[in-house]
Amino acid sequence: MQSPIDPKSKIQNPKLSRVLVAIGGGIAAYKVCELISTLFKTGVEVRVILTRSAQQFITPLTVATLSRHQAYTDDDFWQPTYSRPLHIELGEWADVMVIAPLTANTLAKLAYGMADNLLTNTVLASTCPVLLVPAMNTDMWEQLSVQRNWQQLSIDSRYHGMNTGSGLLACDRVGAGRMAEPPEILTYIQSLLHTQGKRDLIGKRVLVSAGGTREYLDPVRFIGNPSTGKMGLAIAQAALHRGARVTLVHTPANWQAPLGVQAIPVTSAEQMHQAMVEYLANADIIVMSAAVADVKPRDYSTEKLPKRSLPEALPLEPVPDIVARLAQLKQSHQILIGFAAQTGDIVNPALEKLEKKKLDAIVANPIDRADSGFGSDNNEAIFLDTQGRQVAIAPCSKLEMAHQLFDFINNEF
C-alpha cells in the first residue's frame, strides 16, 4: 500500500517547511485557495484536508491543483489504501496545521477533544502548532457557547487563534466574524514556522513605532523620508504571534495594523513623541523602529503656498528627540531598542547612538544595499547591545529579522 507522504523528502530537504491546511465548510473557504497558492509559491510543501461540508464550496480538484498534491477527504480516511493510518501520517508530517475557515462545528469538536472525521483525528494525532482562523455569522460568533469553546482552546498552548475582522459578511450582516485575509494568515504561519509555536512573550507588553514622520510646510508639502513602516509592522506582527500585547504607533502607511494590535496613527514627530510617552509606562519592551525627522519647518501655513511664495531658504527648527526622552523616562525593568539606518559604515554610528541615547540595544541596518532597508520586504542588520555583543543578521525577510530580534532580546536580557 502506498503512503500519502514520501518519507525520504524531509531527510533529503530538512529545511523544507510543511504546512497542512484543513478547510472547513463556510463561504470563506474560497479565500483559502489564495493561501494555498501563495504557500506553494514561497517554497512551502502543502497538503490539504477538505471536510465533507467544505466540498460544498470548493472541490478537491481545485486545491489539489493549487497545492500540486492530492487533496484528502473523509472518503480517503475511511479507505484502507495506505500502509499507515492517514491521520497518523498527516499528523506526523506537518510542521504547522492551519484550520481555515474554522466553523462553529469544528471549534466545538476541538474544544471537547472529539475525533469523528479526518480533520479532527489528524489534529489529535499531531503535536505541531495549530493555527485557528474562525469565520462565521456575527450572531454565531458571539454566542456564549461559541465564545466558551474559543476560550477553552486559547488556554491550550498548541492552539494559536487569529481574531476575526469586522465588515460585510456573506449573509449581508455587518459585524464581527469575518475571516482574516490570506496575507495575514500567511504571516502568522511564517511566524509559527520560526518559533515552532512557542509564545515566549505572553504577559509582556510591546510598544513599537513604525514609519517615517512628516513635517509639513503647508497642507501639501512636507519634509519626510522613504520609510514605509514595514519593519515596524513586522516587529508588531512577530510580538503578537509570540503572545505579547502590542501597541503600534505608526505614521501614514499603505498597510493595516494586524487584528489584535492596538494601532495609534500619527503623522508628525511631535505626535509620535506624545503617543510614545503616553504608552511607555505600560510597556515592557519598546522598539523605536520609526524613521523620525530631525528638523521641521519653523513656520507652517494653513493654506497651500503658491510657488512664488516659497522661501528661498527654509527656516528649520529641531523636533523632539523621542528615543532620548524615552530613555530618560524608562524604568529599570523596561528594555529600549533603537534603530540606526545608515549608509557606508553602519557599526560605529550605531555604537555612538547606543551610548549617547542610553539605549539597551540597537539595530544597525544598511539602507544603501540592494533589496534592503527602506521600502523593501527584506532587510539585513547587526544587533548591538551595551555589553559589547554584536550579532550579524544575514539578508532575510523583515518578519524573520523581527523574530531574530526577539530571540536576541530573550537571550541577552
User: pLDDT for 321-368, tens place per residue?
Assistant: 999 999 999 999 999 999 999 899 999 999 999 999 999 999 999 988
Tell me how far apart the alpha carbons of residues 23 and 375 are, in angstroms, rounded to a whole number: 34
Tell me how far apart the alpha carbons of residues 137 and 149 are, in angstroms, rounded to a whole number: 16
**Are 68 and 76 spatial neighbours (Cβ–Cβ below 8 Å)?**
no
Question: 180 and 219 share a domain?
Answer: no
The whole-angstrom distance between residue 410's C-alpha and the CA centroid of its chain comes to 18
**Are 10 and 16 spatial neighbours (Cβ–Cβ below 8 Å)?**
yes
**Are 205 and 165 spatial neighbours (Cβ–Cβ below 8 Å)?**
no
pLDDT attached to residue 3: 52
Residue 112 lies in a domain: yes
Question: Is 171 marked active-site?
Answer: yes
pLDDT attached to residue 82: 62
Residue 169 lies in a domain: yes
Question: 65 and 156 share a domain?
Answer: yes
Residues of the chain with pLDDT under 50: 1-2, 7-14
Give SS3 for 384: strand
Task: Write out the three cell numbers for 205.
Answer: 507588553
Question: 173 and 299 share a domain?
Answer: no
Tell me how far apart the alpha carbons of residues 194 and 236 are, in angstroms, rounded to a whole number: 15
Question: 185 and 269 share a domain?
Answer: no
- Domain residues for the domain of 318 are 205-412
| Long-range contacts from 293-297, C-beta under 8 angstroms, 24+ separation | 293/212, 293/213, 293/214, 293/215, 293/223, 293/224, 293/225, 293/268, 293/269, 293/319, 294/318, 294/319, 295/215, 295/223, 295/319, 296/215, 296/223, 296/268, 296/269, 297/215, 297/216, 297/217, 297/223
Catalytic residue among 33, 128, 171, 396: 171
Question: 218 and 286 share a domain?
Answer: yes
Residue 111 lies in a domain: yes
Point out which residues pair with 166 in neighbouring strands.
176
pLDDT attached to residue 166: 81
CATH number at residue 337: 3.40.50.10300
Residue 258 lies in a domain: yes
Q: Taking the model in full, what pTM does it have?
A: 0.92
pLDDT attached to residue 184: 96
Which residue, 137, 166, 195, sits at the end of a domain? 195
Question: 131 and 259 share a domain?
Answer: no
Question: 222 and 166 share a domain?
Answer: no
CATH number at residue 157: 3.40.50.1950
Q: Measured on CA atoms in the order 53, 58, 60, 63, is the torsion positive or negative?
A: negative
Q: Please state the domain count of the chain.
A: 2
Strand positions, DSSP E, 33-102: 45-50, 71-72, 96-102
Q: Which of 15, 17, 19 shows the shortest CA–CA distance to 97?
A: 19
pLDDT attached to residue 169: 74
Question: 133 and 279 share a domain?
Answer: no
